[in-house]
Amino acid sequence: MAVLPSPIYPTVARVMNRARAFVNDSYQGGAGRILTNQKPFTVEYLNSALEELQEKIRNNGVITLTRDNVLIGPIPAIASPDPSVQIMLTYTGLYVNGQFLATPTLPADLAVPLEIFERQFGSGQRFEYMRQPQEGLPSIYQGPWLRFWEWREDAVCMVGSTSVMQLRMRYSALLPIIGPDVVGGTGEEAWATTSINILSSVNALAGIVAYKYALARRAEGAQSMAGEADRYVRLITNKYVRQGQHKRYQRKAYGETYMSNSSATNKLPA
């Protein structure tokens, strides 16, 4: 979510104006009489709609929430090779060598990691692909590479390395929640200058807000509003599905674990 509005993204004010229109509350020049920006339940409906929309489009593979080339490190070397050792990178720090370090941390907006790459810290070399074992981390003696990672307990778990490492992460991100509608208590609307960075999402977000508002009041049309909101969400996901259909796909060559382009091999380090 941006501090200043972007012409390609909808503002919070625009979403709420549309939601009020959906529930027939466009009084006072669109400010409404019940579903107003000042009511404490309005921002909760809006944040609930934002969370729901993110999860729905994320589950349908929409990549607009994907962040890439996020660098994390240094990851300290383990004290000595030991197959029983694992390290954990969390939102609040790194557990390594029997202690918890305040840095590095996972990105605060990380919803779930998608791909992780590694290189020795300060080497300037290209990043190598790290694997996700299907049945958890292996019990191995550590070497100069981390090699494996697992998403467990909302943390990136690894076996550790005898070298100081740096990670490059690709992940699905969370948009921040919507804050209060008034800046500093002066009455100046901040929602008009706050954008939601999901393209063409006005109808979907407004539809979900309208549904939650109607449901709380046991309105007869609540379920039809839910159906309309789902239709708007499908329109968003279909756009990205069609875009993805223009990509050319090919099978990986034998022995390769990742291919970012036709000339790269990026085989798993030994």
Residue found by looking up tokens 């509003």 in the block: 225
What's the whole-model pTM score?
Answer: 0.80
Residue 253 has a pLDDT of 67
Q: Angle, to 10 degrees, between the axis of helix 202-216 and the axis of helix 12-22?
A: 50
Q: How would you write the pLDDT of the chain (270 residues) with one tens digit per residue?
A: 444 555 788 999 999 999 999 999 988 888 889 998 888 899 999 999 999 999 998 888 777 889 999 999 999 999 999 999 999 999 999 999 999 999 999 999 999 999 999 999 999 999 999 999 988 999 999 999 999 999 999 999 999 999 999 999 999 999 988 876 544 444 346 788 888 989 889 999 999 999 999 999 888 888 888 898 889 888 888 876 665 554 565 566 666 655 444 334 445 555
- pLDDT for 186 equals 40
Place of tokens 């409404």: 32
Task: Copy the structure tokens of residue 19.
Answer: 């939601």
Report which of 161, 159, 162, 118 is spatially closest to residue 139, judged by C-alpha positions: 159
CA distances in angstroms from 157 to 89, 117, 190, 219, listed in the order given: 6, 14, 40, 47
Token output for 213: 């508002």
